[in-house]
Amino acid sequence: MAATPDPRMREIMAAATRHLHEFAREVNLKPDEWLAGIAFLTAVGQACTPYRQEFILLSDVLGLSRLVNVMHDAEGREAAGTETSLLGPFFREKAPEFAPGDSIAIHDAGGTELVIFGQVTDAEGRPLPGAVIDIWQTNAEGLYDLQARDASVMDMRGRFRADAEGRFHLRTVKPIGYSIPMDGPVGQFVHRQNRHGMRPAHIHVLVSAEGHRELVTALYFGDDPNIGSDTVFGVSQSLVVQEAMSLP
């Protein structure tokens, strides 16, 4: 690998190879176990579709996604900034854009209605007008639109633009906790470890503004029974809402 022209790729591949060899030696990996690992990774790849990313899910349940986020936070996030959370496998590009105050619950309007108010600022608290806020979540039955209906229909997700003061607001319904997809190889992997596959209720948020790094974060609900045992290790205490105000 010494001839790899890209220095960062050379560093990553050399370290990955070194640690893989160290892992095999540490556990005294047998040929049949090596083949089982190859078969598992093959199955993970075969489970991926344009609407399902099984490899991201594997990274999530291993805690790798969370670790990468934590390191990224430590490297570039200002102390006063919002912590990151996991992107997850259900983000979709080109979500519909809504006007301020609109509801993203177009087809699945059941459940407790919520209103969310927010403001996008830089690390010094200066508003970022025109910032784009992507929101996506499950419905009141714990399903994303990709799971609940035809994948061509987008629901419970949308984009909002911050006003001149960086503020935005929207309506939605309170999500509930849900299980990660357990019908594929990652689900079997979780079962083999005698772990549950539940995620606590949350709303995903992706914020982008010109001249600033994207922020991938989430809003978690403190009354969820799995708030302390998220199977993908995505919860940060600073992102937990202890009381969610419902609309009359």
Domain match, 126 and 158 both: yes
- 109 and 1 in a single domain? The answer is no
- Which of 12, 29, 47 terminates a domain? The answer is 47
Q: How confident is the prediction for the chain on average, in pLDDT?
A: 91
pLDDT score for 203? 96
Same domain, 75 and 42: no
247 lies in some domain: no
| Residue 115 and residue 199 in one domain | yes
**Within this chain, do residues 70 and 32 fall inside the same structural domain, yes or no?**
no
The answer to whether residue 244 scores a pLDDT higher than 90 is no
pTM: 0.84
3-state DSSP assignment of residue 38:
helix
Does one domain contain both 134 and 38? no
pLDDT, position 81: 83
Distance CA 56, CA 86 (A): 10
Residue 10 lies in a domain: yes
Q: Which pLDDT value is given to residue 159?
A: 98
Give the per-residue pLDDT at 243.
58
Calpha distance 176→156 (Å, rounded): 13
Burial class (CB in 10 A: 0-12, 13-18, 19+), 241: middle
Q: Which domain holds residue 185?
A: 53-241
Do both 172 and 93 map to the same domain?
A: yes
Helix pair angle (185-192, 31-47), 10° resolution: 130
Summarize pLDDT for 35-63 with one digit per residue, the tens: 999 999 999 999 999 888 999 999 999 99
% pLDDT > 70, the chain: 94
Asked if pLDDT for residue 67 goes beyond 50, the answer is: yes
Radius of gyration over alpha carbons of the chain, in Å?
20
Q: Residue 150 has what pLDDT?
A: 76
Tell me how many domains the chain contains.
Answer: 2
Judgement on whether residues 30 and 62 belong to the same structural domain of the protein: no
